[in-house]
Each structure stands twice: as structure tokens, then as C-alpha cells.
Amino acid sequence: MQIVMVGAGGNGSKLLVSLVRAQMVLNILGRNPLQLVLIDPDTVSEANLVRQAFLPGDLGRPKAEVLISRINLAYGLDWEWRARAFRPADLHGVQLVISAVDSRQARRAIAEAIGTSVLWWLDMGNDVRHGQVLLGRGTAQMPYPHQRLPELIEGEDDHRPSCSALEAVMRQDLLVNDMAAIWAAELAWQVIKDGTPKYLGVFFDLERGSVRSVPVRKENSYAQLVF
């Protein structure tokens, strides 16, 4: 399966660990390997060290390069990284695009690039203590994330960077990214392993300790795709 992940921050860097584990299981099952490309234009800053999967020695280096180089070296993979913004051509031949971004502008670029294509789009989003993970294929029964929640791409962004570790934690609590990443990993794994999801997302609330799933409608009828 060809996968493009856009975003290597709090959510993306945590999700990558689970995708490596998915690759290991595919190896055991004798299945085709994942071919993953990670895209992110940012470099590692001190504010990233608390909630994201980076080390002090990574400061100043491109996030995508750090994560993919480390994974390839440790697991003998040949995944790719691109230290730049997402481009529409990045979706050529892709079956699953994962967005782990923190801006409407970035999601708009993905939505415009997808257009009416029928490919899986898995999106992660969160604020301080709440979040959602949504999966879709652009059909009436399985709408893309922005078709279900238009506010994901509509409106203006808050472009203020987290300039310190304290501010980073105040804007997003310590474990909110881990929660988003684990649900995203489960949904991605359902698509990778079985070709069909059992549900289309979750909304989670760390304040209340609650999770609400987005069910697949009973009248859904679509071909099973196993890669």
C-alpha cells in the first residue's frame, strides 16, 4: 500500500511508531509492504521536545528527515521523506493519505488535491483536551473528513507558533496527541489489513474520559480492497 502522511508533529510523529509495527506484522503475514512518504516543511524546535517524538540532538533538523532516517536505520526500511509543504502530485498512486496537520490551509490543500478521487483519507485533529480522528473515501456513505466537518477547512488559522515548551503544553495537553495517534493507528490498520473499516472515526474527550465512534451505515455497500 502506498501511503502519504502530511505532518510530522505531535500526532504524526506518534502515529509513525504504530505504522512501523504494522509493517512488521505484514512481514510476518507475508503481505505486501507499506511504501510510506512523510511530508513536513518544519524543523525541530525546543518546543517540540515535550509532546513530539524528537530528542535534544534533533534540534534544527528537518522533522521528516529525522523520523524517517531513524526508522529506516532501525528497521531496514526504505520509506521516504520530503522536507517541504504538501503538493498535489504527492498523491499520485497513493491509496491512503494521512493528515496530521494543525491548520485549515493544509487540509484545504489536501482536499483540493483529492478532488473526487476515491482514496482513503484519514485526518487527525485536536485542541487542548479533545480531538477527532476521521476516515473517509469521498462517497455518500463514507464522506471525506472535510465533508463531514466543513470547519476542518473553512475559516482562518491561528498561525502563532508555540515558542516554548510551556506554551506548547498549555495549547495541547501532554497526552492528547497520543490518544489521537492510537485511534488513527487502529483505523489505518483496519484499512491496511482488511481493506474495510469497522467504523469511520472517533471523537474523544480526555476531560470526561469519553469516546464516541462514527459508525459505518448498514446500507453501505462497497468493494473490499486489500493491499
Chain CA centroid to CA 46, Å: 22
Structural domain of residue 168, as residue ranges?
2-215
Q: Are 8 and 86 in contact (CB under 8 A)?
A: no
pLDDT number for residue 13? 96
Residue 223: inside a domain, yes or no?
A: no
Count the neighbouring beta carbons within 10 Å of the beta carbon of residue 44. Answer: 24
Residue 225: inside a domain, yes or no?
A: no
pTM: 0.90
The number of domains in the chain is 1
In this prediction, residue 168 has a pLDDT band, given cuts at 50, 70 and 90, of: low
pLDDT above 70 as % of the chain: 89
In this prediction, residue 161 has a pLDDT band, given cuts at 50, 70 and 90, of: low
In this prediction, residue 61 has a pLDDT band, given cuts at 50, 70 and 90, of: very high
CA distances from 50 to 18, 61, 68, 72, 97 (A): 19, 16, 19, 23, 26
Mean pLDDT in residue range 177-202: 97
In this prediction, residue 167 has a pLDDT band, given cuts at 50, 70 and 90, of: low
Q: Give the C-alpha separation, 169 to 49, whole Å.
A: 11
pLDDT digits (tens, 9 = 90+) for 117-148: 889 999 999 999 999 999 999 998 999 999 99
Residue 21: inside a domain, yes or no?
A: yes
Q: What sign does the dihedral 115-116-120-124 (CA atoms) show?
A: positive
- Residues with Cβ within 8 Å of 21's Cβ and at least 6 positions away in sequence, in order, are none
Nearest of 149, 86, 78, 88 to residue 115 by alpha carbon? 88
Instruction: Considering only residues 167 and 150, tell me which one the structure prediction assigns the higher pLDDT.
Output: 150
Q: Is the pLDDT of residue 225 over 50?
A: no
Burial 153-184 (b: 16+ CB within 10 A, else e): beeeeeeeebeeeeebeeebbeebbebbbebb
Count the neighbouring beta carbons within 10 Å of the beta carbon of residue 31. Answer: 16
In this prediction, residue 106 has a pLDDT band, given cuts at 50, 70 and 90, of: very high
Q: Give the C-alpha separation, 21 to 74, whole Å.
A: 12
Here the CATH number for the domain that contains residue 90 is 3.40.50.720
Q: Is the pLDDT of residue 185 over 70?
A: yes
DSSP string, the chain: -EEEEE--SHHHHHHHHHHHHHHHHHHHHTPPPPEEEEE---B--GGGGTTSS--GGGTTSBHHHHHHHHHHHHH----EEE-S---GGGGTT-SEEEE--S-HHHHHHHHHHHTT---EEEEEEE-SSEEEEEEE-SSSSS--HHHH-GGGTSS--------SHHHHHHHS-TTHHHHHHHHHHHHHHHHHHHSS-SEEEEEEETTTTEEEEEEPPTT--------
